[in-house]
Structure 1
Amino acid sequence: MSSRWYPGKKIITNVGREVLRGSRLLSTSAAPSFSPKTTVTTLPSGMRVATENTNMPTATIGVFIDAGSRYENEKNNGTAHFLEHMAFKGTSRRTRYDLELEVENMGAHLNAYTSREQTVYYAKCFAHDIERSTDILSDILIHSRLHKKDVEAERSVILREAEEVAQNLQEVVFDELHMAVFDGTPLSYTILGPEKNIKSITRDDLADYIKTHYKGNRMVIAASGGVDHSQVVELASKYFGQPPSSSGEEYVIKGKYVPCEKMLVEERMERVSGAICVEGVSWTHEDNLAMMVTNTILGEFDRSRGLGLNAPSEMQLKVASIEGVFSFQSFNTCYKDTGLNGIYYQTEPKALRPLMNAVVEGWRWMAYDVDAETVEKGKRSLLTNLMLMLDGSTPVTEDIGRQLIFYGRRIPMEELKARVEAITVDSLREVCQKRLLNCKLATMIVGPALKDIPSNEEIEAALSR
């Protein structure tokens, strides 16, 4: 019941707390008046309850916790993910069998996932079963048995999952990239944790993580579909009670971007998988939306699919003409205090240098030559993708919970549209010049030993020429 997010898998609404007007920022108090569809109530414990009623026969309710692998340390790295697995092994009120049978008889779906900054538990059910689903969620979070025999049994499951992750080159590249570029801070930790930790994490470690991080003001209960806000507020109070609160900030060690050149040699590989990136921006940074548009314009390419029907970007055209490049994917990853902007790729060794040249030309094109028509297409595509991602109660619930964790509020779609529309070709070029051309690079390569690798210094010189 675990899923992990990496750049390119999922579009996340990266909207800050200000309203963009060209290259200027105005406070939200000066913005046009919008009527958010999301209703939010803060309980005395600091826990927030947020709902959006769409009058559907089904509903999704989730608990979003401001806690993930970046809140861990070297010794307990992997604990948040381990806890996610343990949540479904039974509680003081329900055995594992009882839990599975109850969910199945309801026709519901119960799931969870862990990221570097969040842990999420959610249930999708018929609208009339929202109370039973809330009861189950509170039970697995508050009353999980964490039995020692279950802890021991789950180690092998997580170790197998780690083996699967190690076979996924994209996951390997991004894990290795994070370890290098955020070296010395918890953002460098993998979500699953190292093998030695998976083998040594104890029941006490799991219980301590819950006690330390599952605090009221670091939790959001979000629901959408056929839900009534006052009912969900009552259910939250009834089943979650008054969990203790904390500032939360004492647990955050800020991520520090470290330029790097790293290569993991695997002689058995014929292809090269890698990433080239610069430091990105946080969720609430004023340049966030502009970088999302940039990411959309640069796009992706897969030789097995071709360029598709839409007009490709200059970078897509250049990459498609390089023999030996199998794919590339632009990514924009945001965290609370930093981020990564770059390109993930798969190529034959001989095409690596031409590909880096194409990246340089593509970034410079965005910074100096991208035209107004292309920017408008990028803005429309971004908005379309974001709206399509909100099709159904589960993605809407995820969007509500995520935004309340990162922004403190749900960004109305009308406001998001207005902010995207306000981006101009000049303001986008200015952001790209600042963010893509004048930053130190971080590169990560997995593949056979290579002789002719362009250095970061060489690429940076080409970008700034």
Structure 2
Amino acid sequence: MGSVRGVTGSLRSLSRLYSARAALKYEAAAASQRVKLPAQEFQVSKLPSGLVIASLENYSPTSKIGVFIKAGSRYENAGNLGITHALRLAANMTTKGHSSFKITRGIEAVGSTLSDTVMEYLINVTAAQEFRPWELSALPPRIKVDRAVAFQNPQIAVLENLHSAAYCNALSNSLYCPQYMIGQHTSDKLHEFVQNNFTSGRMALVGLGVNHDILKQVGEHYLNMRSGTGTAGAKAKFRGGDVRSQSSASLVHAAVVAEGIAAGTAEAHAFSVLQHILAPGPYIKRGSNVSSKLHQAIAKKTSDPFDVSVFNANYSDSGLFGIYIISQPGSVIGTALAQIGIIAKGNVTEADIAQAKKQLKAKALMAVETSDGLLDEIGSQVLASGTYIPTSRVLQEIDSVSLNDVENAAKKFVSGKKSMAACGNLENTPFLNEL
């Protein structure tokens, strides 16, 4: 029996060898016939209506198309607060071209999702909403659940309160519908918001793996419905403030920020380098971030478990920069803030700058590694400025940041008006004016 098993094993080995040789011959033949496709340049054009068309033909087997619209919560007013939350959840409701049932079944039939995009449905939910009252009646329970699930996460609660404290308009509006506004968004209110904000001048149609001329034809035919820039949005006004939310949670979540820099500026890169000097964040799965300057400084002050990171958000006309701490009720916020003051006084080396630049450039490259990340990056840029800065140029701009630029960024934070939000057991957490 042993010899039989040996013969069988030998035959299997020969079979695998034969298959491998056949595969090599096939791959060699395929390689000789392979066509090398030329790299395509990013293309962007603007229609007379103001609609921006942007595309990159990367020969992907699956195309991705997205419609980006300047219609976030910052464009809400006191009479329709939370309406963008309702719109997000109403994306699959009946349109002029398709019923809610057909949208759901049609997308399922091709194994897709609305975010991946099936063009026909994407255009309909963007430009042809009907907001039928009997369908809208199903929204309030969904909004309540969506809101409740979101605010189970204390980080979301803190960041929402932080924006409310930091700004007196626009960016102070929450991404989630206030409790008292749930059920108040009628069909007429939804149509009014869409008419005022879903205009061609506030839209960008972005595609990956598509021909630019074809994408342009789609924009001209389907998204040329309302020209103009729509209702003008107010410029965000930073005010500073303190919002505290007491709870029975064992940990304190707290954020302290000053006004940062708007996206797309040279100074924004200096703040990003400063962020990576202080706390770049873990780059490996379940990393502990123990090597960061903030972590090392706080570890000397407490033996309790904690986590600390840098919060750096850039918007079209403003920004927020500061620290986010999760700790025991005993506060270590002052220690973290002191680290930024140390850098503002010039206690930073060229080696620190070089290391932070490497980490920031790696982050910029990894952000556009996936098609989803690249689509989002292109869409955000062309919507804000009408153009796209390639990653290669972004890396050059990061390299141009000097030690003096980083010190000035730290000084701006130290001298700037602060905002703070905290939740949890706040008995021993200082107020903003005590820091």
Is TM (by shorter chain) over 0.5? yes
Matches within 5 A, 1:238-317: 238-246=221-229, 248=230, 251-266=232-247, 268-299=248-279, 305=286, 307=288, 312-317=291-296
Q: Specify which of 297, 304, 307 is matched with residue 318 of structure 1.
A: 297
Answering whether residue 63 of structure 2 is matched by residue 59 of structure 1, we say yes
The answer on whether the counterparts of 1:47 and 1:216 sit within 8 Å (CA) in structure 2 is: yes
CA shift in 2, pair 1:284/1:395, >3 Å: closer
Q: Give unmatched runs, 5+ long, in structure 2.
A: 1-38
The answer on whether the counterparts of 1:40 and 1:49 sit within 8 Å (CA) in structure 2 is: yes
Q: Give unmatched runs, 5+ long, in structure 1.
A: 1-34, 112-122, 125-132, 460-465
1:208 positional shift: 0.5
Q: Specify which of 328, 341, 358 is matched with residue 308 of structure 2.
A: 328
In structure 1, how many angstroms separate the alpha carbons of the residues matched to 2:365 and 2:280? 20
Equivalent pairs, count: 393
Answering whether residue 147 of structure 2 is matched by residue 159 of structure 1, we say no
SS of the residue corresponding to residue 388 of structure 1 reads helix
Q: Deviations over 1:304-352 (max 9, x none)?
A: 95645xx8232221223422242122111122222111111111112x1
Answering whether residue 156 of structure 2 is matched by residue 171 of structure 1, we say yes
**One-letter amino acid of the structure 2 residue matched with residue 318 of structure 1:** A
**One-letter amino acid of the structure 2 residue matched with residue 238 of structure 1:** H
Q: Specify which of 358, 365, 371 is matched with residue 380 of structure 1.
A: 358
Q: Which moved more, 1:395-404 or 1:89-98?
A: 89-98
**One-letter amino acid of the structure 2 residue matched with residue 96 of structure 1:** S
SS of the residue corresponding to residue 114 of structure 2 reads strand
In structure 1, how many angstroms separate the alpha carbons of the residues matched to 2:59 and 2:40? 16
In structure 1, how many angstroms separate the alpha carbons of the residues matched to 2:50 and 2:178? 34
In structure 1, how many angstroms separate the alpha carbons of the residues matched to 2:364 and 2:196? 34
**One-letter amino acid of the structure 2 residue matched with residue 239 of structure 1:** Y
Residue equivalent to 2:377: 399
The answer on whether the counterparts of 2:163 and 2:171 sit within 8 Å (CA) in structure 1 is: yes
Answering whether residue 192 of structure 2 is matched by residue 208 of structure 1, we say yes
Residue equivalent to 2:432: 456
**One-letter amino acid of the structure 1 residue matched with residue 339 of structure 2:** G
**One-letter amino acid of the structure 1 residue matched with residue 369 of structure 2:** D
SS of the residue corresponding to residue 222 of structure 1 reads strand
CA shift in 2, pair 1:343/1:98, >3 Å: same
Matches within 5 A, 1:58-207: 58-111=62-115, 123-124=116-117, 133-183=118-168, 185-207=169-191
1:296 positional shift: 2.1
In structure 2, how many angstroms separate the alpha carbons of the residues matched to 1:341 and 1:169? 19
In structure 2, how many angstroms separate the alpha carbons of the residues matched to 1:36 and 1:57? 15
Q: Which moved more, 1:390-399 or 1:250-259?
A: 250-259
SS of the residue corresponding to residue 251 of structure 1 reads coil
1:453 positional shift: 3.8
The answer on whether the counterparts of 1:300 and 1:316 sit within 8 Å (CA) in structure 2 is: no
CA shift in 2, pair 1:47/1:259, >3 Å: same
Residue equivalent to 1:47: 51
1:399 positional shift: 0.9
Residue equivalent to 1:444: 421
Matches within 5 A, 1:429-440: 429-433=407-411, 435-440=412-417
In structure 2, how many angstroms separate the alpha carbons of the residues matched to 1:207 and 1:45? 20
Q: Which moved more, 1:293-302 or 1:408-417?
A: 293-302
SS of the residue corresponding to residue 189 of structure 2 reads helix
CA shift in 2, pair 1:373/1:135, >3 Å: same
In structure 2, how many angstroms separate the alpha carbons of the residues matched to 1:398 and 1:65? 12
In structure 1, how many angstroms separate the alpha carbons of the residues matched to 2:287 and 2:65? 39
CA shift in 2, pair 1:198/1:370, >3 Å: same
In structure 2, how many angstroms separate the alpha carbons of the residues matched to 1:324 and 1:214? 50
CA shift in 2, pair 1:142/1:346, >3 Å: same
1:366 positional shift: 2.6
In structure 2, how many angstroms separate the alpha carbons of the residues matched to 1:182 and 1:373? 36
Q: Deviations over 1:188-246 (max 9, x none)?
A: 1111221121221111110001101111111000011x211111111222222342213
Please identify the structure whose Cα radius of gyration is greater. 2
SS of the residue corresponding to residue 201 of structure 2 reads helix
The answer on whether the counterparts of 2:273 and 2:356 sit within 8 Å (CA) in structure 1 is: yes
In structure 1, how many angstroms separate the alpha carbons of the residues matched to 2:299 and 2:387? 41
**One-letter amino acid of the structure 2 residue matched with residue 206 of structure 1:** L
1:384 positional shift: 0.9
**One-letter amino acid of the structure 2 residue matched with residue 98 of structure 1:** K
SS of the residue corresponding to residue 63 of structure 1 reads strand
Q: Specify which of 215, 221, 227 is matched with residue 232 of structure 1.
A: 215
1:455 positional shift: 4.4
CA shift in 2, pair 1:101/1:331, >3 Å: same
SS of the residue corresponding to residue 384 of structure 1 reads helix
- TM-score, length-scaled by structure 2: 0.85
1:413 positional shift: 1.7
The answer on whether the counterparts of 1:276 and 1:343 sit within 8 Å (CA) in structure 2 is: yes
SS of the residue corresponding to residue 61 of structure 1 reads strand
The answer on whether the counterparts of 2:262 and 2:315 sit within 8 Å (CA) in structure 1 is: yes
SS of the residue corresponding to residue 204 of structure 2 reads strand
CA shift in 2, pair 1:395/1:327, >3 Å: same
Runs of 4+ aligned structure 1 residues displaced above 3 Å come to 304-308, 452-458
